[in-house]
Homo-oligomer: A and B are copies of this chain.
């Protein structure tokens, strides 16, 4: 791993593939077909791309039960405990509206309501992560969303991964469709004979899924289009090099485009981490992926001072940040921009990916400057409420009418002034 002195303007930003025109044309065709032909289009595309002809699009209770029966008991228990932890953390995000009394009987309000229906896209194959089911569904449940749907492509055997079904089962979700790709996004956005449309679509996916989500955005809400994973570690000479290296590699193994960066005040740590990364890479099953990531985007920066290191981290605005230093909690208070912060030696980042309770859907590619991890707010919307009494209206109508006329909107002024006359 390359070691360099810290310089101004480090960026974790990578030039990411936005999809090409050909892919976009395919996606638009799929969207149009599903919109006009519904289930028939879903079946045709599933047969064409997923390699099997679905008898029924919705997963049956028998299929779910069969998967649960075959699923490892210990893992089921681990997933259940993780789900409970995630629920506990997200329950703190529940909010109620408010009411402001204005006097004279008038008031303003804010009402917070859950979305009616949400769809979670779960990628198929080796990228099927039961943990994603927990992380996407639980905030929606805590928000009070009454209908939560999962769409995921089945394998050639027509089955969904048991882990995905187990995670859904633990959460009480049983509206699950065996549909993937852009056609799944189309079905969730527009609806078909079998699949009623939803109001928001979340969850990761390949380039076709990402393009389809962008296309239906506006028709329905979508979550952010997440980029490859990132980790930045801020460490001093109290950190153990093998642990830092292992944490860097845990992000690097996700994707050749993943990014793992160490910022440290210790030259010695820098050298030893670089050695450890090389050594640990040798036995890592996903070595090829991790190595590419380290070569492409891995870096170790040496900072003169902790202050300089903190400034560098804030300019990075990383998805994940580990702080393994003396007084790590105080250092954490100086961080302005990071999706998820992991404090101290024992808070290795995968702790948050699976189990601690925080969400693992976090803003990538420096968007932590302005974006947040998935949370309960993402599944509610707010309505404002105005109640003006006659008295409040009478006191303020002239001001409102003046402001409207200033903007050239006479109709607005007249609407306000139309009240209060003696009428038949």
Q: Say if the beta carbon of A225 comes within 8 Å of chain B.
A: yes
Task: Tell me whether B347 and A415 are in contact (CB under 8 A).
Answer: no
Q: Say if the beta carbon of A341 comes within 8 Å of chain B.
A: yes
Checking B240, B399, B410 against A355 with a beta-carbon cut-off of 8 angstroms, the contacting residue is B399
Task: Tell me whether B386 and A343 are in contact (CB under 8 A).
Answer: yes
Smallest beta-carbon distance A305→chain B, Å: 22
Q: In the assembled complex, which residues on chain B have CB atoms less than 8 Å from the CB atom of A163? A: 406-407
Q: Say if the beta carbon of A353 comes within 8 Å of chain B.
A: yes
Say whether, besides A250-B409, A340-B384, A343-B386, A404 and B110 are in contact (CB < 8 Å).
Answer: no
Identity of the chain B residue whose Cβ is nearest the Cβ of A243 in the assembled complex: B418
Identity of the chain B residue whose Cβ is nearest the Cβ of A340 in the assembled complex: B384
Interface magnitude class on chain A: 35 or more
Say whether, besides A110-B93, A411-B252, A82 and B403 are in contact (CB < 8 Å).
Answer: yes
The residues in A between 194 and 242 inclusive whose CB is less than 8 angstroms from any CB of B are 199-200, 218, 220-221, 225, 240, 242
The residues in A between 230 and 262 inclusive whose CB is less than 8 angstroms from any CB of B are 240, 242-243, 246-247, 249-250, 252-254
Task: Tell me whether B356 and A388 are in contact (CB under 8 A).
Answer: yes
Task: Tell me whether A419 and B346 are in contact (CB under 8 A).
Answer: yes
CA distance A414 to B262 in the complex (A): 18
Identity of the chain B residue whose Cβ is nearest the Cβ of A107 in the assembled complex: B343
Say whether, besides A352-B384, A386-B343, A357 and B410 are in contact (CB < 8 Å).
Answer: no
Smallest beta-carbon distance A199→chain B, Å: 4
Q: Say if the beta carbon of A339 comes within 8 Å of chain B.
A: yes
Q: What 9 new A-B contacts, CB under 8 Å, besides A246-B411, A343-B386?
A: A78-B402, A253-B409, A284-B414, A332-B385, A345-B390, A346-B419, A350-B400, A372-B381, A373-B384
